[in-house]
Amino acid sequence: MKAVWFEESIPRYLISKALGRVHYSFYYNVFSCIRYGDYPEPKLPSGKWVKIKTLMGGICGSDIGLIKLHDSPSTSPFASFPFVIGHENLGIIVEKGDEVEGFEVGDRVIADPTLSCNAREIYPPCEKCQNFEFSQCMNFNEGIVSPALMIGSCRDTGGSWGEYYVANEFQLFKVPDKVTNENAILVDAFCSALHPVMRNFPKDSDTVLVLGAGSIGINVVSALRALGSKARIIVLARYKFQGEFAKHYGADEILYTKGLSKWNLYKKVAELTSGKVLKPLLGKPVMVGGADVVFECVGNDDSIDDALRFTKQGGTTVLVGLAGITKKVDWTFVWFKELRVAGTNSSSGEIFRGERKRGYGIALQLMEEGLDLSPLLTHTFKLEDYKKAIEMNFFRGRYGLVKSAFVF
C-alpha cells in the first residue's frame, strides 16, 4: 500500500533538527525521518480486529509537531518504529476477524485511536481503563501490539496516512448515515477539545479565555456551546479567518493578537476581564485578576506563560496545546495565584447527560443531532501531495488553513 511513515534514524533526526531551522523542507525531504512510498499492509493482530480501507486521514497539529521534531524524547517509549503516521481516521471495514461482533465488512467507521487495555486485549484492564480513563492507561507498552499511545504511532496498526489500517473492535464506532465524511473526520479534533472542556466545565457566570484559534481552540468554543455553556467566551486569534470561525461557533469576543505589543495585549485582556496590569522590574507584564478558566491551545512557552498570567486568582489553566520541554515559562503564578493547572490527553470517558460514555460516541451523537464542524475542513489533499500538505500546515495563516485531511 502507499503510505507516509516515520522512520527511526538518529542521523536523519539530527540532520532535520539542525537544518530544519535553515529551511523547513529539511523536516520532510529526502534527508528527514519522513518517508513516502510502498509500505506493507498491516495484518490483523487477533480475531477481535478489523482491517479498514482509509477514506480520509486527518492532519493533526500533533502530526505536524512530530514532523518538526517538537516532541519530547520522553514520549519515545510509547511509540514503536517505523510507524505510518495518522490517528484521525475514517474508513470502510474490508476484513474482520472471526471474533468481531457488532460490525460487518462494508461498515463506515471511525476508530478511537487510543491503544488502551481493551484494544491491547489485556484482561482485566488496568484500574484507569476500568474507570473509563482510557487516556491514562497504565499499559501503553504491553499487550498484543507494539508500544504506542495510539494508532499512528504503532508499527503494527498502520495509520490513516496509509491506504489501510487495523483497529480492535473496542475502538470502533459506526458513523451515522446523517453524518458526512467531512464532518466525521473531525471527530478526533473535536474530542481533543471535548475532553478538557468536560473535565474543566465553567460556570455560566465565568469568563473563559481561549488562547489560540486553530482547530483545537475553535473546537473548545464549539464544545462549550454544544454542551450548553452560557459562559462568556473570549478568544485570542492571530488571523481574521480564525476569529470568524470562532464567532460562528459561539465566541462572544475576539481579540486579534497579530501586531500587538506584549504590553498592549495585556492591557486589552485586562480590559476584557476586569483585571489590572502591573509592570515588574524586569520581564513581561503581571496581571491581577483575569479569566476564571483559561484554555491554552497553542503549546509553546510564550503562550503557556501568558495563560498562567491571564488566569484569575484561584482560577483554572487548562493545558490543551501539546506542550513539551519548557524553558521560558514562569511558574510563579501557579503558587502565587493558587491556580489549578490541568493537563489533558486525547479523548476519554465522560459523564454525558447522566450516562458514562466514550468521547467518540458523544461527538457522533452531537453531530447526528446537528453539530456540523465540516466548515473547519478548509483543505484536502491526495496522499502523494503530502509535501504540499505539510508545507501548508507549517504556514496555516498564509493559506487560511484551519483543518486539513488526505482523501483516498
User: From CA 94, how far away is CA 26, in angstroms rounded?
Assistant: 36
Task: Please report how many Cα atoms fall inside a 13 Å half-sphere around the Cα of residue 192, on the Cβ side.
Answer: 24
Give the residue among 172, 103, 221, 161 at the shortest CA–CA distance from 360: 172
User: From CA 78, how far away is CA 150, in angstroms rounded?
Assistant: 9
What is the percentage of the chain residues whose pLDDT exceeds 90? 93
Please state whether the predicted TM-score (pTM) of the whole model is above 0.85.
Answer: yes
Res 242 pLDDT > 90? yes
User: From CA 154, how far away is CA 149, in angstroms rounded?
Assistant: 8
Rounded to 5°, angle at Cα 165 from 163 and 167: 155
Taking only Cα atoms into account, the Rg of the chain, rounded to an integer number of angstroms, comes to: 21
End-to-end Cα distance, the chain? 12
The per-residue pLDDT for 198 is 97
Choice among 8-17, 46-55, 359-368 with the minimum mean pLDDT: 8-17
User: From CA 244, how far away is CA 257, in angstroms rounded?
Assistant: 14
Q: Which cell numbers in the block locate residue 147?
A: 508500544
pLDDT band for 324, please (50, 70, 90 cuts).
confident
pLDDT band for 230, please (50, 70, 90 cuts).
very high
Amino acid, single-letter form, for residue 82: P
Choice among 57-61, 146-150, 318-322, 400-404 with the minimum mean pLDDT: 318-322
Q: What is the pLDDT of residues 157-189, one digit of tens each?
A: 999 999 999 999 999 999 999 999 999 999 999
Please name the helix (run of DSSP H) or strand (run of DSSP E) that holds residue 197, with its range, or none.
helix 187-199
Q: What is the pLDDT of residues 116-141, one digit of tens each?
A: 999 999 999 999 999 999 999 999 99
pLDDT band for 318, please (50, 70, 90 cuts).
very high
Choice among 3-7, 66-70, 205-209, 315-319 with the minimum mean pLDDT: 66-70
Q: What is the pLDDT of residues 72-99, one digit of tens each?
A: 677 888 999 999 999 999 999 999 999 9
The per-residue pLDDT for 70 is 83
CA distance readout (Å), 126 to 75, 198, 220, 356, 358: 20, 23, 29, 18, 17
- pLDDT averaged over every residue in the chain: 96
